[in-house]
Amino acid sequence: MNLLDILRSRTVTIPALLAGVTLATGTAHAQLNERPYLVGSGESAVDATGRSIKNQRVRAVHTTDDSLLGGTAYFLDKDPFLAYQLGRNLNFREFRKRDGVFDKNSIATLIAAMPDGHTAKITARNQVSCGSCHGRPYATPGGGVTFAKDSGRGRNPPHYFGGGIVEMIAYQVRNELLAKVDTNDDGWISNTEAQAYPGNLMVRPTPGAPPIDFGSPQLSEGLTGIPNLVTMFRVWYVDSQGRQVPQATRVDGVNTLGYNVEMTTFGRGQQLAGGTNSNFRALNPTLRAFFWDACNAHMNLQAYDPTTLTDPDANGVSIDSLPGQPQFPITHRPPDLGIFKHPSGYSSTDPDSDGYLNEISEGDLDLAEWFMLNAPRPAFAGTQVEFDSGVQLMKNLGCTSCHVPTWTIKTKDADFTGDRRFFDLDVTWDPVDQRLEGEVVPLYTMVGDVYQRNFGAFTAEGFFSDMRQHDMGEGFQEFGYDGVHNTIWRTSPLWGLTGNFPWGHDGASLTLRDVIMRHDGEGAASKAAFEAASTATQDALFDFLEKLVVYDIEQLPTDVNGDGIIESHFVVAGVDTGTERFNAEWLFKTPLQIQGQVVNAEGQTITSFAGVNIPDAYGELLPYRKDTDSDGWPDVWDVSPTLPGFKDGIH
C-alpha cells in the first residue's frame, strides 16, 4: 500500500497508519456525499475546512445501557460531545436516495389540510436537509429561506439556537400548571381539582418579575366544559383514570372527568385545524417531535420511535426520552408505527412504500434531540450596560409586556426537570477586541467515565418572549391558502433576532422599522409609543435589537478547555488547530486529529482540518455503530453485514 492509498483510505487510524495496516476498507466510496478525505488524496469528497460531515450515515441504535459500546446511551453518557456532533450531522446532512428520501414517484407534493379541511397546507417532500431551510449562518440551526406553507405569501423559518432552553421553559410552564392544580399529583387535572383552583395560572418567568397570565384552568361550566387556558396549551380529555378518551371535546362528567395538556411551543402560529378537539395553534411540543415531523414533511423520511409510543399509563404522555423529555403521543405520533418489526427491533413497516425501511431510527432521534437540546443559545453583542439600557428602553415602549426579557429554568426537584443540557456555550462581547467570545461551561460532573448532568438552574437573560400568542391585528395578518385570515402569533423570542432576518412569520419585513410598524391589535399601544418616540430613541432601539445575534458556532474564538484563555495555537491530538474555538470534535473521547500542514494546489502551505482518525474519533468501529458494508445499516441490524443493501441491509 503506497502513501496515496493510505491517505485515500478514510478508515485508516493514525496508530494503524504507523503500523501500516488498514482496519477496514470502505466499499461505497463513490456514493458518499460526506467529505471525509484528506487534502491531496485525489478523491472528490475532500474538505480542508473540516466543516463538512465526516461520518458515514448509519442508523443509530437506541440503548438504555451505557455499557453497550456505540449505542445511544453510551454516546450520551460517555462521549456526549460526539453524541452532539452526530446529532448536528443529522440536522445538517443532505439525505440521499440511498437513505430513503422522497418516495417512489413523488417529489414536491401538496399535503396536510388547512382549516377548511380540503386546501393543502404545505408543499412537502422537496428538501433533503434541515439545512436547506435553516442555516443562517451556514451550518448552524439558524433561520433561512421563506417557503410554501400556510399562505401563498410564505412562511419564514425561525432559528433554533437555544432550542433546548425553549423546550425546557415550555415544559416548566406546563409543570407549573400541574404543580398548582393537580393537587393529588397523579399527572392530570380532574374536574374537581380544576374547580378548586382559584383564578388564573400566573407564572413568574424569573424570581421577582411580574407574573405572566396563562389563562384559567377552571372548566367553563364548573365540573364540566373546557378550560380557558391560553392558545399555547393543547388540551385533551381523560377518563377517571387519566386515560385519554378519543374524540372527546370537553369534560362531560360521565365519560370524561378531567383533562391534560401539552404546551405547543414550536412554530410561529397557525389557524385552528383538525376540528374542535383542540385549541392549539402551533406545530410541535418537543424538539424530538420537530425533528421527526420535519424529516417526514420535508424529506419523506419516516421515523420509528418506540420512546414516543411507550405510554404505560395511557395518559397521553410518554416515558422520558434518553435526553430526558417526555413526548406527547396523544397528539404527536411519529409516522412509522412499527406495525411490522424485524426481530432485531427495527421497523419493517415502510409507510411510504419506497422499499427503504426504518428511515429514521429511535437512536437517530436520541442524537438529533441531544444536539437540539444543547444547541448553543444566541448572544448579545454588546456590554452589560448596553444590555440593561436596551431592556429599559423596551420597557418604556411597552415591548416587554410580551417580549419578556428573562426566564429562569428551575433546579430539578419533584415538580421540575432542571436544566437538562450538558454544557452551556456562554458567548459574550469583548469590548477590547470588539468581538464575540465564547466559553464552554460544563453542566456535568464526571463520575468515573460518565458525564453526569447537574440538572441545576439556568437563567436565560435576553430571551424576550412571554411564551404566549397574541392577536396582532391587521399588520401581521396572514391570508391563508384557504382564504382564512390569521392574526394570532407566538411572541417571537427576540434572542438571536438577526438570525431570523427577514422578519415576521412571513419574512416580509426587511427592516426592523417595518416589522415594528406591523404591530397592530394587542401590539398597537407599543407601536404608537415607538412612533411617538424621538429619532434618537428609535435609533437606540434599532441599535439594541441589532445586537441580539446568532453567530457561527464553530468559528467563534472560544475557551474550550476552561483555562480562562483563548489560545491562538490550540493543540489537539498533537496538532496545532489555530485559534481555540468550539468544534465539538476537539472534545470527543478520542479527539479528532486534523491533517495539519499540507501544500494546496496553488503551492501554498495551509492547515487542513480534514480528519486522519475519523473511524476512531467518530466511534465508527464500536460494536453498535459498526457498518462494515457502509450501507447505513449497522452490523447488529444488518442481515448481510458485508454485502451493501441500502433499503433493508440486503436489497
- Which residues make up the interface to ligand HEC (CB under 6 A)? 91, 127, 130, 132-134, 147, 149, 155, 157-158, 160, 163, 266-268, 270, 283, 290-291, 294-295, 298, 397-399, 401-403, 470, 472, 476, 489, 491-492, 494, 497, 500, 503-505, 512, 515-516, 519, 522-523, 526, 530, 541, 545
The length of the chain is 651
Spatial distance between the Cα atoms of 616 and 614, rounded to a whole number of angstroms: 5
Q: Which is nearer to ligand HEC, 70 or 131 (CB)?
A: 131
Residue at 572: amino acid letter: V
Least distance CB 128 / ligand HEC (angstroms): 8
Q: Which is nearer to ligand HEC, 60 or 295 (CB)?
A: 295
Q: Which is nearer to ligand HEC, 197 or 495 (CB)?
A: 495
Q: Which is nearer to ligand HEC, 63 or 487 (CB)?
A: 487
Inter-residue contact 551 to 137 (CB < 8 Å): yes
DSSP state letter for 210: P
Least distance CB 377 / ligand HEC (angstroms): 12
Least distance CB 29 / ligand HEC (angstroms): 27
The count of other CB atoms within 10 Å of the CB of residue 2 is: 7
Spatial distance between the Cα atoms of 570 and 228, rounded to a whole number of angstroms: 56
Q: Which is nearer to ligand HEC, 357 or 545 (CB)?
A: 545
Least distance CB 622 / ligand HEC (angstroms): 25
**Total H helices, total E strands in the chain:** 14, 28
Least distance CB 475 / ligand HEC (angstroms): 9
Angle at 417 between CA 413 and CA 423, to 5 degrees: 120
Q: Is 42 left (phi over 0), alpha (psi -120 to 50) or beta?
A: left
Least distance CB 446 / ligand HEC (angstroms): 30
Q: Calculate the alpha carbon distances from 382 to 87, 406, 441, 536, 558 in Å.
A: 31, 17, 20, 18, 17
In a 13 Å sphere around the CA of 597, the CA atoms on its Cβ side amount to 5
Angle at 641 between CA 364 and CA 17, to 5 degrees: 85
The count of other CB atoms within 10 Å of the CB of residue 74 is: 24
Least distance CB 519 / ligand HEC (angstroms): 5
The count of other CB atoms within 10 Å of the CB of residue 312 is: 7
Inter-residue contact 9 to 42 (CB < 8 Å): no
Spatial distance between the Cα atoms of 208 and 211, rounded to a whole number of angstroms: 9
Q: Which is nearer to ligand HEC, 346 or 530 (CB)?
A: 530
Q: Which is nearer to ligand HEC, 393 or 443 (CB)?
A: 393
Q: Which is nearer to ligand HEC, 132 or 249 (CB)?
A: 132
CB neighbours of 344 closer than 8 A, spacing ≥ 6?
Answer: 636, 637
Residue at 418: amino acid letter: G
Q: Which is nearer to ligand HEC, 131 or 611 (CB)?
A: 131
**How many Å is the maximal CA-CA distance in the chain?**
82
Least distance CB 594 / ligand HEC (angstroms): 28
Q: Which is nearer to ligand HEC, 326 or 398 (CB)?
A: 398
Inter-residue contact 547 to 390 (CB < 8 Å): yes
Inter-residue contact 55 to 89 (CB < 8 Å): yes
Least distance CB 95 / ligand HEC (angstroms): 9
CA 125 to chain centre: 20
Q: Which is nearer to ligand HEC, 288 or 581 (CB)?
A: 288
DSSP state letter for 415: S
Least distance CB 51 / ligand HEC (angstroms): 18
Spatial distance between the Cα atoms of 589 and 587, rounded to a whole number of angstroms: 7
484 is written with which cell numbers? 382564512
Q: Any idea which residue has 430613541 for its cell?
A: 537
Least distance CB 98 / ligand HEC (angstroms): 18
Least distance CB 447 / ligand HEC (angstroms): 31
Least distance CB 211 / ligand HEC (angstroms): 16
Spatial distance between the Cα atoms of 140 and 453, rounded to a whole number of angstroms: 24
Q: Which is nearer to ligand HEC, 469 or 613 (CB)?
A: 469
Q: Which is nearer to ligand HEC, 37 or 95 (CB)?
A: 95
Spatial distance between the Cα atoms of 81 and 588, rounded to a whole number of angstroms: 6
Least distance CB 270 / ligand HEC (angstroms): 6
Q: Any idea which residue has 411510504 for its cell?
A: 352
Q: Which is nearer to ligand HEC, 480 or 591 (CB)?
A: 480
- b/e sequence 595-611, b meaning 16+ C-beta within 10 Å: bbebeeeeeeeebbbbb
CB neighbours of 206 closer than 8 A, spacing ≥ 6?
Answer: 406, 407, 408, 459
DSSP state letter for 399: G
Q: Which is nearer to ligand HEC, 147 or 444 (CB)?
A: 147
Least distance CB 133 / ligand HEC (angstroms): 3
Q: Which is nearer to ligand HEC, 40 or 87 (CB)?
A: 87
Least distance CB 500 / ligand HEC (angstroms): 4
Spatial distance between the Cα atoms of 75 and 66, rounded to a whole number of angstroms: 8
Give the helix/strand (H/E) hosting 519.
none
47 is written with which cell numbers? 474538505
